[in-house]
Amino acid sequence: MRLGAQSLQSEEGVSFSPRATHTYACASCGRETTMVFAAEAEAPETWECRYCGQEATLLVDDKPVEVDRAEAKAPRSHWDMLLERRTEAELEELLQGRLNYLRSRRGQEQNA
């Protein structure tokens, strides 16, 4: 027997958790993707189509569910997050302070 090629454990006495099968329909290629989830897990509304890679929609009673995209947030940039903490006037003041410091330091280094 090859090492690691086959498990020596049997499945006797093992009870698997309940499972639910959900089907997703792809609007792009028209094919269906079937996925198995734990019975208590909530199935996502969309899944990647295994054939074309596009977004497939969950089928409930052979009808696609309506995906609510209103909750999707626009990605925030670093600038947006910075403006949440400081005003542009404060940022301008900080910039001028740093520039003055760098200019004074540069002047001292050139004279030394």
Per-residue confidence (pLDDT) for residue 4, from 0 to 100: 66
Helix (H) / strand (E) containing 99: helix 88-111
Beta bridge partners of 34: 23
100 Cβ contact partners less than 8 Å away, ≥ 6 residues apart: none
Single pTM value for the model? 0.52
**One digit per residue, pLDDT tens: the chain, 112 residues?**
566 677 777 778 888 889 999 999 998 898 998 999 999 999 898 999 988 889 999 998 878 887 776 676 778 899 999 999 999 999 999 999 999 999 999 886 655 4
pLDDT tens string 81-97: 999 999 999 999 999 99
Could you give phi then psi for residue 101, rounded to 5 degrees? -60, -45
User: Which residues, other chains included, contact 64 with Cβ-Cβ below 8 Å and sequence gap of 6+?
Assistant: 25, 27, 57, 58
- Report yes or no: 20 and 38 within 8 Å, Cβ to Cβ: yes
